[in-house]
């Protein structure tokens, strides 16, 4: 059926409207605190929705239905771990972040250990966040090329440019408030899509229940028993223990040590509101992933063919929208997917920019040049945002035809570094014995272990962060005893 003028008008109206809305915040950007922390004056509920939007990219919306199409609801076990991880952050890491005026997560590392380790952790964040975000931006091209018929590179360029415009001008305030709007758009659009699919499935809900029930599509829990590890199976990614333990470690790392999320938590008015935003976002994410998985099961009930018939599972949902959805609703759903893409990209641009300026440029410049004016700092922050937009565009182009199911590739790239990062943060806040040299050794060992797990083992990616964290913490704690240098208070 394809998109018609009404659909294209809806998509164009969304792209223009959200860009203009984001530009409304440019006049409020007078200082670095305004640009990178929104003057710490954002209400908890807006931060909560922004956190949800920041961790929901296009790859989430198109890959999670594809995952359910091929399997079932067992991914929800990982999401349960996401909720547990948020509770851990609220009690362990948030109190540390609200001691003093911090702009980035890695300033906490310098305060506890020293400047060298801050440089290493911030650098690791920049590398892995840029790589993972390149895959996410690439996922946009799958949708846009199917919907609009544009080339994949042109599709990436359009979304990157429009997102850059308001992020460049409006800073974190524009990012968060556009996230709020975009969350309502993509969740609302998905709900509309769900109802529409149900009406299109021959036999309606009864048929969906029969097909899904026969193939166990609604199965949530998987508790396998390994011959070598009772109650555990390290090769399967979506089991109860991989989900609860692995998901908890993954979220504690991604939401507690990754500047992408920590920056939002620091924008809250106080620690209590920050914790409330984080915990409430966990409930919203659980509902959201359940919704996306439900879409995948409904699509399977509609098509009843292997995902290979579409080339790859990630193409099923966007193909259905373009070819089967009524006009108007199809345009709304494509706009919803683009909303998730832009919210995630804007978050990445602002967090990469803040870490580049605060953790690197201003630190190394201050030792041999005069202090910069606030206006000059703000100009540099915007230039850094532009620079990272170009980097992410290039990485997305490199990702073309080089990745598998994009949601898992994105999580795998991030997971390679998260264990080492979380291990160092936990050494800093849970121990007094650990020092910078020991923590550095632990981090190197943890990162080496995660690289081994990624490239040469059969261990599922959901376990990587947990294993990497434990190795980093244990080695770092033991190695700290070899150095007599006192750790910072």
Supply the CATH number for residue 56's domain. Answer: 1.20.1730.10
Task: Spell out a b/e string for 472-488, using b for 16 or more CB atoms within 10 Å of the CB, else e.
Answer: bbebbbebbeeeeeebe
Q: Is residue 181 part of a domain?
A: yes
Residue 418 covered by a domain: no
Mean of the pLDDT values across residues 430-447?
Answer: 93
Separation between Cα atoms, residue 455 and residue 464, nearest integer Å: 12
Residue 226 pLDDT greater than 60, yes or no: no
Closest alpha carbon to 483 in 440, 446, 438, 425: 438
421 domain-assigned: no
Domain presence at residue 258 = yes
Among 61, 105, 55, which Cα is nearest to 82's? 55
Q: How far apart are CA 390 and CA 393, in angstroms?
A: 5
Classify residue 113 by its DSSP letter.
Answer: T
Residue 479 lies in a domain: no
Please state the domain count of the chain: 1
What's the rounded Cα separation, in Å, for the pair 223 and 229? 12
Give the pLDDT confidence score for residue 331 in this predicted structure. 87
Measured CA to CA, the distance from residue 428 to residue 455 in angstroms comes to 29
Given a cut of 50, whether residue 486 has pLDDT beyond it is no
pLDDT tens, residue by residue, 444-456 = 999 999 989 988 8
Burial class (CB in 10 A: 0-12, 13-18, 19+), 370: exposed
Please give the DSSP secondary-structure letter assigned to residue 342. Answer: H
Quick one: tokens of 361?
A: 């440029």
Tens digit of each residue's pLDDT (9 = 90 or more) over 230-250: 556 788 888 888 899 999 999
What is the rounded distance in angstroms from the CA atom of residue 173 to the CA atom of residue 414? 25
Region 153-178: what's the mean pLDDT?
89
Question: Is 70 a member of any domain?
Answer: yes
Helix (H, G, I), strand (E, B) or coil at 215: coil
pLDDT at 412: 67
Mean pLDDT (whole number) for 349-355 = 94
* Percent of the chain scoring above 70 in pLDDT: 91
- What is the rounded CA–CA span in Å between residue 357 and residue 35? 12
Q: Residue 176: pLDDT above 90?
A: yes
Q: Compute the distance between CA of residue 200 and CA of residue 29 in angstroms, rounded to an integer.
A: 48
* Domain range for 25: 5-365+372-397
Cα dihedral across residues 156, 157, 161, 167: positive or negative: positive
| Tokens 């040299």 found at | 437
Residue 17 has pLDDT above 50, yes or no: yes
- Residue 190: the pLDDT is 87
Residue 412 belongs to some domain of the structure: no
* Residue 321 banded pLDDT, cuts 50, 70, 90: confident
* Crossing angle between the packed helical segments 436-456 and 406-430, to the nearest 10 degrees: 160
Letter string b/e over residues 206-215, b meaning 16 or more CB atoms within 10 A of that residue's CB? eebeebbeee
- pLDDT of 487 > 50? The answer is no
Does position 403 have pLDDT exceeding 60, yes or no? no
Residue 273, domain member (yes or no): yes
Model confidence at 341, pLDDT cuts 50, 70, 90, reads confident
How many residues does this entry show for the chain? Answer: 489
């Amino acid at each position: 059926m394809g998109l018609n003028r009404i659909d294209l008008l809806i998509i164009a109206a969304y792209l223009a409207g959200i860009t203009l809305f984001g530009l409304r915040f440019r006049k409020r950007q007078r200082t670095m605190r305004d640009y990178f922390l929104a003057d710490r004056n954002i209400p908890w509920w807006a931060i909560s929705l922004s956190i949800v939007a920041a961790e929901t990219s296009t790859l989430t919306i198109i890959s999670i239905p594809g995952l359910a199409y091929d399997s079932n609801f067992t991914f929800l076990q990982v999401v349960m771990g996401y909720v547990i991880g948020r509770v851990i952050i609220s009690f362990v890491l948030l109190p540390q972040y609200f001691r003093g005026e911090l702009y980035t997560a890695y300033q906490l590392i310098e305060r506890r250990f020293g400047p060298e380790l801050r440089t290493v952790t911030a650098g690791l964040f920049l590398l892995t966040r840029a790589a993972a975000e390149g895959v996410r931006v690439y996922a946009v091209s799958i949708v846009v090329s199917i919907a609009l018929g544009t080339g994949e590179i042109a599709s990436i360029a359009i979304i990157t440019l429009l997102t850059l415009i308001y992020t460049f001008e409006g800073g974190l305030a524009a990012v968060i408030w556009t996230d709020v709007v975009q969350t309502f758009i993509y969740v609302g659009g998905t709900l509309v899509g769900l109802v529409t699919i149900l009406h299109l499935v021959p036999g309606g809900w009864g048929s969906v229940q029969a097909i899904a029930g026969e193939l166990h599509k609604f199965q949530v829990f998987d508790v396998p028993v390994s011959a070598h590890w009772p109650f555990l199976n390290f090769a399967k990614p979506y089991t109860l223990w991989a989900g609860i333990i692995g998901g908890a470690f993954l979220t504690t790392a991604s939401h507690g040590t990754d500047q992408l999320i920590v920056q939002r938590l620091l924008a809250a008015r106080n620690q209590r509101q920050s914790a409330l935003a984080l915990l409430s976002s966990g409930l919203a994410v659980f509902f959201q992933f359940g919704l996306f998985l439900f879409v995948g099961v409904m699509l399977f009930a509609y098509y009843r063919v292997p995902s290979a018939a579409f080339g790859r599972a990630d193409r099923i949902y966007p193909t259905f929208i373009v070819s089967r959805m009524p006009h108007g609703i199809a345009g709304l759903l494509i706009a919803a997917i683009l909303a998730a893409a832009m919210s995630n990209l804007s978050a990445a641009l602002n967090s990469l920019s803040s870490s580049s300026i605060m953790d690197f440029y201003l630190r190394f410049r201050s030792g041999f040049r005069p202090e910069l004016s606030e206006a000059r700092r703000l100009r540099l922050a915007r230039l850094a945002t532009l620079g990272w937009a170009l980097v992410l565009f290039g990485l997305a182009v490199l990702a073309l035809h080089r990745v598998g199911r994009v949601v898992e590739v994105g999580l795998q790239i991030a997971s390679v570094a998260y264990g080492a990062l979380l291990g160092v943060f936990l050494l800093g806040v849970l121990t007094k014995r650990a020092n910078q040299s020991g923590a550095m050794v632990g981090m190197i060992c943890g990162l080496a272990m995660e690289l081994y797990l990624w490239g040469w083992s059969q261990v599922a990616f959901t376990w990587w962060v947990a294993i990497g964290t434990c190795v980093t913490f244990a080695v770092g704690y033991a190695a700290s005893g070899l150095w007599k240098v006192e750790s910072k208070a």
